[in-house]
């Protein structure tokens, strides 16, 4: 209840501040050019380095396992033009020593955003196979005769997740594109209240095979699979401080509440049993971004923090965990090639709603 009270209290203060902000700044379309400079008709390409890696807590005979994939930093090229933002990323192959100690992880990820003046929609598919136990030295302490760098592995453990989010900004003078795709520049300091909905459809399976610290493959008699859907309704507040037109500092705080509905199939030597669970979720996200945004090029860094508290009894996988995430990026704007311009023009002709919102 204390989490819910904090969310309600925080949201009420945000709404009050937002109403005051809109009344003071008279947020109208005619005033927009004083706050926002538009570069969405130029193609910009951003090089981004990040540490985005999911991890989970998995119930086990010896205790709770913290499992994570053997993935390093992600290097991505992000293409932004008009209302579309497309991210293509790669991760360098781990060293041979890392593969021996933590196992191999296979991954595929595709992320796309549709950015309009007032709306932002993001869709992502993330597939990872191959996890290791990050806290092996604590949970499997009896195996002290083996190298402490060697981790217990789940080579077939697989997470397949489709996720999406939609954001709506209230203050017309705040540039969502300046923070999301750098296709605009925020000219003056301002903030906005933003409702947001996040959702995920996920499948988690493959804990039936384990490789112990001795390197032996073990077929487990008891294991679980998960198939579920969750959603979180958020009420966030974003503010951008602008210094000498080109330097900026972004800050945001997003409290939210939602639910997780999933099917847990438990397999044992005796039988297979499936149960459906409904858990309430309370989340909080916050972060900051610092950078430089000019007519031709831009660069900066971002740090995001997410904490989700769910009704977790220690008998099922904890899907949400605390997550710290950073991005370092640099980008350049230039005239879009005719092929790209004609392709997007054609899409807007076929879907007039896109042109009206862009």
Q: Model confidence over 89-136: pLDDT tens digits?
A: 888 888 888 898 899 999 998 889 988 889 999 999 999 999 998 887
The residue written with tokens 């030295």 in the block is 137
Any bridge partners for residue 286, and if so which?
253, 305
Q: Is the dihedral of CA 352, 353, 354, 357 positive or negative?
A: positive
pLDDT (tens digit, 9 = 90+) per residue, 221-247?
888 899 999 999 999 999 999 998 899
pLDDT (tens digit, 9 = 90+) per residue, 72-99?
888 999 999 988 888 888 888 888 888 9
Q: How much is the pLDDT for 27?
A: 41
The CATH class of the 2-357 domain is mainly beta
Q: In terms of C-beta density within 10 A (0-12 exposed, 13-18 middle, 19 or more buried), how is residue 45 classed? A: middle
Element (H, E) at 58: strand 56-60
Domain boundaries, the chain: 2-357
Determine the 3-state secondary structure of 345 from DSSP.
Answer: helix
Sequence-distant (6+) residues with CB within 8 A of 38 are: 183, 184
The residue written with tokens 């438990």 in the block is 266
pLDDT (tens digit, 9 = 90+) per residue, 273-301?
998 988 888 889 999 999 999 989 999 99
Q: How far is it, in rounded angstroms, from Cα 183 to Cα 42?
A: 8
Q: How far is it, in rounded angstroms, from Cα 72 to Cα 56?
A: 17
Q: How far apart are the first and last CA of the chain?
A: 41
Q: In terms of C-beta density within 10 A (0-12 exposed, 13-18 middle, 19 or more buried), how is residue 167 classed? A: buried
Q: How far is it, in rounded angstroms, from Cα 51 to Cα 73?
A: 5
DSSP category for residue 344? H
Average pLDDT estimate for 137-164: 79
pLDDT (tens digit, 9 = 90+) per residue, 307-327?
876 654 556 676 655 678 899
């Amino acid at each position: 209840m204390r989490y819910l009270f904090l969310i309600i209290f925080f949201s009420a203060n945000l709404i009050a501040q937002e109403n005051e902000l809109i009344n003071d700044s008279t947020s109208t379309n005619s005033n927009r050019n004083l706050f926002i400079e538009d570069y969405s008709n130029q193609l910009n390409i951003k090089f981004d380095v990040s540490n985005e890696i999911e991890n989970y807590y998995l119930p086990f005979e010896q205790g709770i396992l913290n499992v994570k994939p053997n993935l390093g930093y992600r290097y991505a090229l992000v293409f932004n033009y008009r209302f579309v933002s497309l991210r293509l990323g790669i991760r360098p192959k781990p060293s041979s020593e890392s593969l021996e100690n933590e196992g191999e992880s296979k991954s595929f990820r595709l992320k796309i955003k549709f950015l309009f003046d007032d709306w932002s929609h993001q869709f992502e598919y993330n597939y990872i196979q191959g996890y290791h136990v990050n806290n092996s030295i604590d949970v499997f302490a009896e195996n002290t005769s083996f190298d402490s760098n060697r981790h217990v592995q789940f080579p077939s453990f697989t997470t397949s997740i489709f996720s999406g989010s939609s954001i709506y900004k209230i203050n017309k003078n705040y540039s969502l594109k300046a923070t999301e795709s750098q296709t605009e520049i925020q000219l003056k300091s301002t903030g906005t209240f933003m409702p947001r909905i996040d959702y995920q459809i996920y499948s988690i399976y493959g804990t039936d095979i384990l490789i112990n610290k001795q390197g032996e493959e073990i077929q487990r008699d008891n294991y679980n699979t998960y198939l579920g859907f969750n959603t979180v309704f958020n009420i966030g507040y974003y503010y951008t401080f602008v210094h000498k037109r080109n330097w900026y500092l972004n800050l945001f705080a997003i409290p939210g509440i939602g639910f997780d509905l999933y099917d847990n199939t438990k397999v044992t030597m005796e039988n297979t049993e499936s149960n459906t669970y409904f858990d309430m979720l309370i989340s909080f996200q916050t972060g900051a971004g610092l950078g430089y945004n000019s007519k031709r090029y831009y660069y900066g860094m971002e740090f995001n923090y997410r904490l989700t508290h769910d009704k977790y009894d220690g008998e099922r996988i904890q899907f949400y965990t605390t997550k710290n995430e950073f991005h370092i990026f640099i980008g350049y704007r230039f005239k879009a090639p005719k092929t790209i311009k004609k392709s997007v023009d054609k899409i807007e002709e076929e879907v007039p709603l896109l042109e009206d919102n862009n």
